[in-house]
Amino acid sequence: MNRKKLIGNVVRYSLYALVAAFFIWAIANNYFDYMFTQSETFLVLLRQHVVLVLVSSLLAILIAVPAGILITRPKFKRAEWIVSNIANLGQTIPSLAVLALMISILGIGFQTAVFALFIYSILPIFRNTVAGIESIDKNMIDAAKGMGMKPHQILFRIELPNSAYSILAGIRTAVVLNIGTAALAYVVGAGGLGVWIFTGINLFDNGFLISGAIPVTLLAILADYILRKVEYAVVPKGSRRIEKA
**Three-state DSSP state, 136:** coil
Alpha carbon of residue 42 to chain centroid:
23
Among 153, 203, 221, 234, binds other proteins (CB under 8 A): 153
94 is a site residue for other proteins (CB under 8 A): no
145 is a site residue for other proteins (CB under 8 A): yes
237 is a site residue for other proteins (CB under 8 A): yes
Among 3, 5, 78, 241, binds other proteins (CB under 8 A): 241
Using CA atoms, how far residue 64 sits from 31, 124, 166, 174, 185, in Å, is 40, 9, 13, 11, 22
Contacting other proteins within 160-199 (CB under 8 A): 161-162
Asked if 67 and 124 touch (Cβ cutoff 8 Å), the reply is no
- Which residue, 56 or 163, is less far from other proteins as judged by CB? 163
Q: How far apart (Å, rounded) are the C-alpha atoms in residues 47 and 198? A: 17
Q: How far apart (Å, rounded) are the C-alpha atoms in residues 140 and 154? A: 10
* CA nearest neighbour of 156 among 76, 236, 75: 236
- Give the nearest distance from C-beta 143 to other proteins in angstroms: 3
Question: What is the biggest distance separating any 2 CA atoms in the chain, rounded to whole angstroms?
Answer: 69
- Give the nearest distance from C-beta 131 to other proteins in angstroms: 17
234 is a site residue for other proteins (CB under 8 A): no
Alpha carbon of residue 151 to chain centroid:
31
Residues in the chain: 245
- Which residue, 12 or 77, is less far from other proteins as judged by CB? 77
Among 149, 180, 198, 224, binds other proteins (CB under 8 A): 149
Write out the H or E segment, with its range, that includes residue 226: helix 206-234
74 is a site residue for other proteins (CB under 8 A): no
Q: Which stretch binds other proteins (CB under 8 A): 70-78, 135-143, 183-191, 206-214?
A: 135-143
Residues that bind other proteins (CB under 8 A): 137, 139-140, 142-150, 153, 157-158, 161-162, 236-239, 241-242
